Structure 1
Amino acid sequence: MHHRYLHHFLIALVTLSLTAIAHANPKPAVVRVGVLGFGTVNWELDVMQVHGLAKKRGVELKIVPLASADAPTVALQGGAVDVIVADWIWVSRQRAESNAYTFAPYSNAVGSLMTDRHSGIKSLSDLKDKKVGIAGGPNDKTLLLLRAYAQRKLDLDLPRHVKPTYAAPPLLTELALRNQIDAALNYWHYAARLEASGMTTLIDMPEILKGLGIDKPIPLIGWVFHEEWALRNADAVKGFLAASYEAKAILAGSDAEWNRIRPKMRAENDAVFAALRRGFLKGIPTCSDQETMTAVGKTFGILAETGGTQLVGRSSELPTGTFWPGFRLPPCSAG
């Protein structure tokens, strides 16, 4: 969807769907958001704060900076924060253990497999015995879906086909730029930096999902919070999510806003800045319907088959309540 139309669409979404909130309590409800100091979530939160998008809905945002990849889920479970960004796979595993966390879509953006455009690598088959850098570890959702794709489409056992190298995303980016690995499976914003540096996408998540029979865009990461807290603070949650989607609308329609937040993006040059902006906007969820949820359920089944109980927990299907029923995107058009 063109950014201009996305902007108008999201404004309508916020106006019509998310601002029908009960009269705000004169005292703002505090929502503590746990976020990694270097995470892209900070861009949206900054827009929310600078424009008072949560405040006007009776919500006081408190940003709690966190230091490590596991810190958000630890902070949420320990009661130090109310909301984090995580994937619904983590939520479903928690619900299978009777921990009633729940999820509202934040982004469809996930990782890509990147290679040097001069490497001669044109397909997954060409990666035989090549060094493939992987962010997130052996149970990363992107890797597991890629494994399932390689098995079904190419009859390749990917872990045996390549030489995996697990590393933190920034290190992985450096290894790729120094040609010390042959390919990098990295998170979307690191993949954007590699793209801006001249690398090319060998395969991305939409292509992986399509190869697995899933032709609908699905959110993989979202705002995660405890169901009990959401029930006690329903207006605050709705206000927070409305502010989140209004911030997305502003970013979708304003060059000036991107220029304002550019220092937070740490973009080394114009090409990186443009790639990061493009990747963020491409990941904004715009609609959801029963077909979307069917696609999510099918994706869960593939992850359960590939990653086993260590990834998804003891549930054989996506647990009811994984997606918070208090939040709905508009239905997707038939076209």
Structure 2
Amino acid sequence: MRLAPLLIVLLTALPAVAAEPLRLGLLTFGTAQWEIETMRTHGIDAAHGIRVQPQELAGKDSSAVALLGGSVDAVVGDWLWVSRQRAMGHDLTFVPWVGMTGALLVPEASPVRTLADLAGKRVGVAGGPLDKSWLLLRALATKRHGIELDRIVDRTFGAPPLLAQQLEAGRLDALLTFWPSAVPLEAKGFRRLLDVAAIPAELSLEAQPPLIGWIFRRPWAESRAAEVEAFRKAETETRARMCAPGFDWAGLDHLTRATDTRTRDGYRAGFCAGTPGVVELDSARRLYALLAELGGEDLVGPSPVLQPGTFW
């Protein structure tokens, strides 16, 4: 009988979980899936008084439609897109999640040692001609060697899996790809020529702003500000747990598709290296200006400057 008062005390000590879930639009094989599944499996969302509800989306276009249409509360994307949407009248805002990551890979025996050595080579670029990593790589090549990569290489744009296959088959001499796609290639012996995260510092952007984050509709976020803040804390705690010694990354193999320890360790290292720092608006504005100069209106839309309110 004495257990009843103790049970009441324990139950009242638990945080009340919000009635409405946070509906998160996630790409089927995106790295956000790893974190959100961990958050839910370990009850970290509930510990912070919220309930996250993942909804799988097919691609970036469907993410934009789902967010703007209100069928999800948040999606993962970059703040340049948020600024562009704000300039077009969509009141969105951005919460940092991941720093700038990616890699330029070449075969282990490749004679390519510098960006200048890429002249005349076949280079694959994950994404399209407006991919941010590609634009930054072009800027770096100009600064280091006075060359325009866009003109001196035989470039191929496409999806990371297809380009990875072409690199392995010897139909590409180098590949600029997102870090989750670089990990299994490095495990197979391909060499990292350059880390995308190192580029901003060479371009005098020492405090690089996290490029990828959670995007909300601002009116919705303001109406549920306490839950947004709770989600940020839950996300930080989840990442810390995943990056702590002893976390079982093998438990995520069904999402990462890792089949060996080296690949699994590579995913852990890449994920943890992406932990975002504090956003410095001046650095963000300078990076925006650089990318706007390189990508033009096709990248940033009608606004040549970073829109106020882009960051939450």
Q: Same fold (TM over 0.5)?
A: yes
Partner of 1:97: 88
Q: How many residues align?
A: 299
The answer to whether residue 142 in structure 2 is matched with residue 151 in structure 1 is yes
User: Matched residues in 2 for 1:27 and 1:71: separation?
Assistant: 27
In the TM superposition, what is the alpha-carbon distance from 1:254 to its structure 2 partner? Answer: 3.9
What corresponds to 2:120 in structure 1?
Answer: 129
Paired amino acid for 1:139 = L
1:164 and 2:152 are equivalent in the alignment:
no
Cα distance in 1 for partners of 2:197, 2:159 equals 23
1:151–1:157 CA contact under 8 A, matched in 2: yes
**1:183: how far off?**
0.5
Please give the alpha-carbon distance, in whole angstroms, between the structure 2 residues aligned to 1:109 and 1:275: 16
Residue 288 of structure 1: which of 278, 281, 287 is its match? 278
Query: Cα offset for 1:112?
Result: 1.3
Cα 1:152–1:87 shift into 2, 3 Å: same
Aligned match for 1:308, one of 296, 301, 307: 296
Structure 2 portions without partners, runs of 5+: 1-13
- AA aligned to 2:275 is I
- For the pair 1:187 / 2:178, whether they are aligned, the reply is yes
Matched, 1:277 2:268: yes
Alignment of 1:180-259 (within 5 A): 180-259=171-250
CA distance in 2, matches of 1:138, 1:308: 12
Partner Cα separation in structure 2 for residue 217 and residue 144 of structure 1: 15
CA contact (8 A) 1:176 1:183 kept: yes
Assess if the C-alpha contact under 8 Å between 1:29 and 1:58 holds in 2: no
Contact 1:153 1:211 in 2 (8 A): no
Match for residue 255 of structure 2 among 261, 264, 277 = 264
Q: For residues 55-83 of structure 1, what are the alpha-carbon distances to aligned partners after superposition, in whole Å with 9 as ceiling and x for unaligned?
A: 22222211101122422122111211111
Aligned partners of 2:116 and 2:311: how far apart in 1? 36
- Secondary structure of the 2:51 match is strand
2:59 maps to which of 57, 65, 68: 68
CA 1:126–1:27 in structure 2 vs 1: closer, same or farther (change >3 Å)? Answer: closer
| Structure 2 Cα separation of the partners of residues 215 and 117 of structure 1 | 30
Offset of residue 27 of structure 1? 4.5
Provide the TM-score with structure 2 as the length reference. Answer: 0.91
Partner of 1:120: 111
Q: Is the 8 A contact 2:26 2:57 kept in 1?
A: yes
- 1:315-326 matches, within 5 Å, as 315-324=303-312
Shift of 1:220: 0.6
What SS does the aligned partner of 2:26 have? strand
CA distance 1:148–1:227, change in 2 (3 Å):
same
Deviates more, 1:160-169 or 1:202-211: 202-211
Q: Secondary structure at the match of 1:256?
A: coil
**In the aligned structure 2, how far is the partner of 1:279 from the partner of 1:259?**
15
